[in-house]
Amino acid sequence: MYGSLEELTQHPVFHYFSEISKIPRGSGNEKAISDFLVRFGKERDLVTIQDEALNVIIKKPATPGYEQAPTIIIQGHMDMVCEKNEGTVHDFQKDPIRLKIKGDMLYASGTTLGADNGVAVAYALALLAADDIPHPALEVVITTEEETSMGGALAVDPGHFDGRIFINLDSEEDGKLLVSSAGGSKAVHRVPIVREEAPEDTADYRISIRGLKGGHSGMSIQEGRGNANKLMGRLLYGLAAGLPYGIQQLNGGLASNAIPREADAVILLHGDDAKECEVKVEEWRNILKNELRASDPDVTIKFEKVTAASAGIFSEGSKHKAISSLMMIPNGIQSMSMEIEGLVESSTNLGVARTLDTELVLESDVRSSVKSLKDDIVNRSKLVADVLGCEFTADFDYPEWPYNPDSEIRQLFEKVYTKEHGTDIEVIAVHAGIECGIFAEKLPGLDAISLGPDMYNVHTPDEHLNIPSTIKTWEFFLAALKEMKTLDD
């Protein structure tokens, strides 16, 4: 369809997607992209607000004939998950995302693409820049830190908005209209580390888990994919039976809301034990190959001698707490919906393991469409920490988004889709965190939906965006905006 990036970026949506891809925008590093959005709005003489959380709100008046239509809030987030393949040279703090086309798909080169949620930003900018698209008054809000804490949306001042009709552009499936989502919380488990001097006559070895698919901890949790942190816990527990070793480092995953694809443990072994450890690692490689043959057939474990910076090893007590924590912290699907077939109701993902000087930090992303079940997972996680003598915190809590059976905006989008495509759009709920719940809590009476094009393997370096679907969703979105003069103000 498009033979080159130069040709693709002639389309306004992909023009702006290419422009924002030049700006690093990992969660917590949004100042540059936020300032870019502010300049964009002010250059077009649009009312533009940047708040302390770096959220940006840009307002555009209604086009002629739409002055009496209700104001529409359009929302997405500017940050992205930063993951890269092993061996890929890329600094997410300063390097642009390098785009490439494969057939009908847009990829990045060895990194996450940032279509989640750069597509929303590109749609919004293309709409704000256009002078030939009919629409009601618009209030575009682009938030920060959605991928880590939803801190941007939580910090938004509701007094900035007149609208009560809300269109979120953070969905990932064409032909589907999202009307409900899960709430969530981040659970952080801190294992205190007491370090001891490394025994004499030992050498450093690294055990590496690779080849897992990973994925979004909400959208892909039902796929049963291997979690590298949990697998590393099992492996280290298995090795501890009869094999003396010391732990120097444990690290895995980069984001709590991404199923970790990789994990590493640096251990110390006496020379006579290294061969036995290699044999046991090979046994575990075969075990995981068998267990994950359907979900992660490329899983592998590597055992190699390394030269590690000496920082001592975990005491036996710290080692026990670390391995027990990896083994016992809840992970994966916790309950399925009894009302919507196939919908995950509650889950948790042990997404990050990070060794610091005095503690091992384990971060989990907890999700549920039922608040009491979300609280139950958090409580069970806290009990694990209490039993093991570890610290525990749960924060970045955000609300679920309940289904509204009387939604006017849903009905309008359903009608327009049927008119445009001759078939009904599928109305769905998802087990992912969507900012609609936060805005619904802040703006009483909010009528919200979410939509977006087909994108795949988000939160992984294999993330890719369907180009025709992106254009189709854009055209559907514009057709729906055109019909909004029929809504009651």
pLDDT at 101: 97
Beta strands in 24-112 (DSSP E): 47-50, 56-60, 72-77, 99-102, 105-108
Helix (H, G, I), strand (E, B) or coil at 287: helix
Is position 416 within any domain? no
Which of 398, 424, 456 is a domain's end point?
A: 398
pLDDT at 486: 84
Helix (H, G, I), strand (E, B) or coil at 192: strand
Q: Which amino acid is residue 176, in one-letter code?
A: K
User: Which of 94, 79, 92, 95 lies closest to 30, judged by CA?
Assistant: 79
Query: How confident is the model over 81-140, as pLDDT tens digits?
Result: 999 998 999 999 999 999 999 999 999 999 999 999 999 999 999 999 999 999 999 999
Is position 123 within any domain? yes
Q: Are residues 381 and 473 located together in one domain of the fold?
A: no
Q: Are residues 195 and 164 located together in one domain of the fold?
A: no
* Residues near 39 by beta carbon (within 8 Å), at least 6 away in sequence: none
- Output the domain CATH number for residue 31: 3.40.630.10
Distance in angstroms (rounded) separating the CA atoms of residues 364 and 349: 5
Cis peptide before 404 (omega within 30 of 0): no
Q: Are residues 198 and 272 located together in one domain of the fold?
A: yes
In order of 36, 88, 445, 479, the CA distances from 459 in angstroms are: 24, 16, 33, 30
Under a CB-based contact definition with an 8 Å cutoff, are residues 247 and 239 in contact?
no
- Neighbouring C-alpha atoms within 13 Å toward the C-beta of 140: 29
pLDDT at 86: 85
Q: Are residues 387 and 448 located together in one domain of the fold?
A: no
Q: Are residues 158 and 198 located together in one domain of the fold?
A: no
Count of CB atoms within 10 A of residue 441's CB? Answer: 17
Q: Are residues 98 and 123 located together in one domain of the fold?
A: yes
Is position 425 within any domain? no
Residue 277 φ/ψ region, left for φ over 0, alpha for ψ in the -120 to 50 degree band, beta for the rest: alpha
User: Catalytic positions, please?
Assistant: 79, 146
Under a CB-based contact definition with an 8 Å cutoff, are residues 464 and 106 in contact?
yes
Distance in angstroms (rounded) separating the CA atoms of residues 433 and 437: 8
Is position 448 within any domain? yes
Is position 379 within any domain? yes
- Output the domain CATH number for residue 331: 3.30.70.360
User: Which of 161, 148, 101, 150 lies closest to 470, judged by CA?
Assistant: 101
Is position 369 within any domain? yes
In order of 41, 70, 166, 223, 253, the CA distances from 260 in angstroms are: 37, 43, 33, 14, 4
Under a CB-based contact definition with an 8 Å cutoff, are residues 171 and 219 in contact?
no
- Name the DSSP letter for residue 86: T
pLDDT by position in tens, the chain (length 489) = 677 999 999 999 999 999 999 999 999 999 999 999 999 999 999 999 999 999 999 999 999 999 999 999 999 999 999 999 989 999 999 999 999 999 999 999 999 999 999 999 999 999 999 999 999 999 999 999 999 888 999 999 999 999 999 999 999 999 999 999 999 999 999 999 999 998 888 999 999 999 999 998 988 999 999 999 999 999 999 999 889 999 999 999 988 999 999 999 999 999 889 999 999 999 999 999 999 999 999 999 999 999 876 678 999 999 999 999 999 999 999 999 888 888 999 999 999 999 999 999 999 999 999 999 999 999 999 999 999 999 999 988 889 998 898 999 999 999 999 999 999 999 999 898 899 999 999 999 999 999 999 999 998 899 999 999 999 999 999 999 999 988 865
Q: Are residues 250 and 193 located together in one domain of the fold?
A: yes
Is position 422 within any domain? no
Distance in angstroms (rounded) separating the CA atoms of residues 162 and 166: 11
Distance in angstroms (rounded) separating the CA atoms of residues 122 and 210: 34
Q: Are residues 119 and 206 located together in one domain of the fold?
A: no
Q: Are residues 114 and 206 located together in one domain of the fold?
A: no
pLDDT at 158: 98
Count of domains for the chain: 2
Which of 398, 417, 444 is a domain's end point?
A: 398
Is position 404 within any domain? no
Q: Are residues 17 and 41 located together in one domain of the fold?
A: yes
Q: pTM for this structure?
A: 0.75
Distance in angstroms (rounded) separating the CA atoms of residues 158 and 168: 16
**Which residue range is the domain that position 52 belongs to?**
5-171+434-486
Count of CB atoms within 10 A of residue 60's CB? Answer: 21
Q: Are residues 440 and 369 located together in one domain of the fold?
A: no
Q: Which amino acid is residue 163, in one-letter code?
A: G
User: How far, rounded to the nearest angstrom, does the alpha carbon of residue 48 sit from its chain's CA centroid?
Assistant: 27
Distance in angstroms (rounded) separating the CA atoms of residues 295 and 332: 14
Q: Are residues 167 and 189 located together in one domain of the fold?
A: no
DSSP-assigned letters across all residues of 206-271: EEEEE----EETTTSGGGT---HHHHHHHHHHHHHTT---EEEEEEE-S-TTEE---EEEEEEEEH
pLDDT at 433: 80
